[in-house]
């Protein structure tokens, strides 16, 4: 078989289809549309079944904790009567240390059910440890493919730490340099081994997080006697927000505002060898969040189950210095030491809480474990070694890749709002490049995908002079 880069890329769809056991073709529509809900339903697990599987394999039912001291701090810089109660869903207490265990639990369960001998995941983040942990429970072999080094052979401490965790769980870790070889090697391994593609973006990966959304509602009702007013989700590839929102919708008919939060890494390219070690976060940042929101099907499956635009109400960013500061604050004020990337949503929540009244509730949807290279001090040290200036000042003056500015006073921790309308329009524009004409079904699909309506879509379509079939 021809294993050149071009040849492997040419057969990527067939490789991915064979490795997940999903016939994506049967969900395809006219041009750009596909039946998303049918794809999710066809995978055959109800929310109750997901929760039972996860309970059997050490996943879920993590505690909801009130951050009383951080709430009090937020109220000191809020106007009178404002400063919502801040809670965190402590997902670091899953066996592998993050909410990704929920996604991995369903992927590994399905792999075992279908008779696969092993699983493969391409990830530099917590998902690798989650897949390795769940594979060990199911008696499956596991390979984790990491984008780890720049061309000088220097690996980020966070990624190196995650490799250690994966190996501790018994996985084989293949570490690559930054660039297109990651996806190429991933496809080759799927083809050569016949293992299951434990992708973050299959229906299994996303429905695994629906249990988290359900628990947020149930925990809030039990502890506070009401549902949360706002849930803040760290957003990267979109599956985290999508699954959480779907679980919330399945558990309550009342409206909960869903806010996505990412670290601002504007100007740094995620596939750049030069930029690779100039960023202090490997996930939860705009380098993933925006591209995946605009074009979700750029993932490692033909159709991604992560569709954040369907569910998101607001999209905000925070800067690196704000996240590091809030990570230290969580440790010092609440006695809870957790990883920085997971505290992206906590930094955003600290600012957002000041918009809400004191009797309102805001839940930070997840935390992640920390230690060794994942610790915020290790990441700051690595940044300094790479020439990044670190100092106290106004985080809004931070330039990603040049400096990390820790807030000199807590009132400087402020979210930046991203224009969802512009993101929706960019999504529509991206979809329109894939076709010369649209059907009624395509238009309805775009309205659902962007959480808008048909007149909104027609206004955008008319700008591009796309033919609409009767």
pLDDT single digits (tens) 52-77: 999 999 999 999 999 999 999 999 99
Q: Given this model, what pLDDT does residue 158 score?
A: 87
398 has a pLDDT exceeding 90: yes
How far apart CA 27 and CA 22 sit, in angstroms, is: 10
- Asked if pLDDT for residue 388 goes beyond 80, the answer is yes
Asked if residue 282 has pLDDT above 80, the reply is no
Residue appearing with tokens 């505690």:
63
Query: What CATH number is given for 53-96+204-418 in this structure?
Result: 3.40.50.1100
**Residue 270: what pLDDT?**
76
- Average pLDDT of the segment spanning 444-460: 96
Query: What pLDDT digit, counting tens, does each position of 237-271 carry?
Result: 999 999 999 999 999 999 999 999 999 999 888 77
Helix, strand, coil % in the chain, rounded to nearest 5:
50, 15, 35
11 Cβ neighbours under 8 A, 6+ residues apart: none
Q: Tell which CATH architecture fits domain 5-17+98-202.
A: 3-Layer(aba) Sandwich (3.40)
The closest of 309, 256, 248, 320 to 284, measured between CA atoms, is 320
Structure tokens at 109: 């369960």
Three-state secondary-structure class, residue 78: coil
State residue 285's pLDDT score: 80
Q: How many residues does the chain have?
A: 470
pLDDT the model gives residue 261: 96
* Chain mean pLDDT for the chain: 94
Q: Are 5-17+98-202 and 53-96+204-418 equal in CATH topology?
A: yes
Task: Give the start-to-end residue ranges of the domains of the chain.
Answer: 5-17+98-202, 53-96+204-418, 420-468
Residue 66: Cβ within 10 Å count: 16
The mean per-residue pLDDT over the stretch 440-467 comes to 93
Over its C-alpha atoms, the chain yields an Rg (Å, rounded) of 21
- Of 267, 268, 5, the C-alpha closest to 150 is 268
Say how far apart CA 204 and CA 357 lie, in whole Å: 37
Do 372 and 158 form a contact (C-beta atoms < 8 A)?
no
Question: Residue 277 — very low, low, confident or very high, per pLDDT cuts 50/70/90?
Answer: confident
**pLDDT tens per residue, range 409-435:** 999 999 999 999 999 999 999 999 988
Contact call for residues 430 and 450 (beta carbons, < 8 A): no
CA distance 229 to 360: 6
Q: How far apart are CA 215 and CA 217, in angstroms?
A: 5
pLDDT of residue 28: 93
CA angle 197, 203, 208 (to 5 degrees): 95
More confident site: 463 or 412:
412
For 268-421, strand residue ranges (E) read: 314-318, 361-364, 389-393, 403-407, 416-418
Its pTM stands at: 0.95
Q: In what order do the strands lie in the sheet with 64-66?
A: 64-66, 85-89, 361-364, 230-234, 257-263, 314-318, 416-418
Examine the pLDDT at 470 and tell me if it is beyond 80.
no
SS3 call for 397: helix
| Residue 286 confidence (pLDDT) above 80 | no
User: How many percent of the chain have pLDDT more than 70?
Assistant: 100
The helix (run of H) or strand (run of E) holding residue 121 is strand 118-122
Q: How far apart are CA 95 and CA 129, in angstroms?
A: 10
Residue 274 banded pLDDT, cuts 50, 70, 90? confident
Q: Name all contacts of 378-382 with Cβ < 8 Å and 24+ positions apart.
A: 378/157, 378/158, 378/161, 379/157, 379/158, 379/280, 379/281, 379/324, 379/340, 380/280, 380/324, 380/404, 382/156, 382/157, 382/277, 382/280
- Residue 93 above 90 pLDDT? yes
Chain centroid offset of residue 419 CA: 19
Q: What percent of the chain has pLDDT over 90?
A: 79
8 Å CB contact between 132 and 166 = yes
Q: What is the mean pLDDT of residues 31-40?
A: 94
Q: DSSP of 163-208, one letter per residue?
A: HHHHHHTT-EEEEEESSTHHHHHHHHHHHHH--EE--TTSHHHHHH
Provide the pLDDT for residue 66. 98
């Amino acid at each position: 078989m021809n294993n050149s880069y071009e040849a492997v890329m040419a057969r990527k769809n067939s490789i991915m289809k064979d490795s997940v056991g999903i016939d994506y073709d049967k969900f395809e529509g006219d041009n750009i549309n596909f039946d998303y809900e049918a794809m999710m339903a066809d995978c055959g697990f109800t929310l109750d079944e997901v929760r039972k599987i996860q309970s059997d394999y050490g996943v879920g039912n993590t505690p909801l904790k009130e951050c009383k001291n951080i709430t009090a701090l937020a109220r000191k810089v809020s106007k009178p009567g404002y400063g919502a109660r801040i809670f965190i869903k402590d997902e670091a207490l899953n066996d592998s240390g993050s909410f990704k265990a929920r996604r991995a639990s369903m992927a590994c369960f399905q792999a075992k059910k279908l008779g696969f001998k092993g699983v493969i995941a391409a990830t530099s983040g917590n998902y690798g440890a989650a897949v390795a942990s769940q594979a060990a429970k199911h008696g499956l072999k596991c390979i984790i493919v990491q984008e780890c080094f720049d061309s000088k052979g220097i690996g980020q401490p966070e990624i190196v730490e995650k490799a250690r965790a994966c190996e501790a769980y018994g996985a084989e870790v293949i570490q690559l340099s930054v660039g297109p070889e990651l996806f190429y090697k991933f496809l080759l391994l799927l083809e050569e081994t016949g293992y299951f593609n434990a992708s973050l973006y299959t229906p299994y990966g996303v429905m695994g997080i629906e249990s988290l959304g359900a628990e947020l509602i149930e925990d809030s009702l039990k502890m506070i006697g009401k549902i949360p007013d706002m849930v803040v989700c760290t957003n990267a590839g979109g599956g985290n927000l999508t699954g959480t929102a779907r679980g919330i919708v399945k558990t309550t008919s009342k409206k909960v505002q869903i806010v996505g939060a990412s670290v601002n890494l504007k100007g740094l390219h995620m596939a750049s060898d030069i930029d690779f070690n100039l960023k202090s976060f490997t996930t939860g940042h705009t380098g993933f969040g925006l591209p995946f929101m605009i074009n979700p099907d750029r993932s490692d499956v033909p159709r991604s189950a992560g569709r954040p635009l369907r569910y998101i109400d607001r999209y905000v960013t925070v800067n690196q210095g704000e996240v590091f500061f809030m990570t230290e604050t969580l440790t010092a004020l609440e006695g809870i030491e957790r990883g920085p990337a997971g505290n992206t949503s906590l930094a955003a929540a600290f600012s957002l809480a000041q918009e809400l009244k004191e009797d309102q509730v805001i839940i930070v949807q997840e935390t992640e474990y920390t230690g060794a290279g994942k610790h915020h001090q290790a990441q700051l040290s690595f940044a300094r070694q790479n020439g990044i200036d670190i100092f106290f000042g106004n985080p809004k003056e931070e330039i990603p890749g040049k400096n990390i500015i820790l807030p000199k006073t807590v009132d400087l921790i402020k979210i930046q709002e991203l224009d969802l309308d512009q993101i929706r329009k960019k999504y529509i524009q991206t979809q329109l490049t894939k076709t010369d004409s649209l059907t009624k079904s395509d238009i309805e699909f775009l309205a659902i995908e962007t959480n808008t309506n048909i007149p909104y879509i027609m206004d955008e379509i008319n700008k591009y002079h796309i033919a609409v079939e009767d």
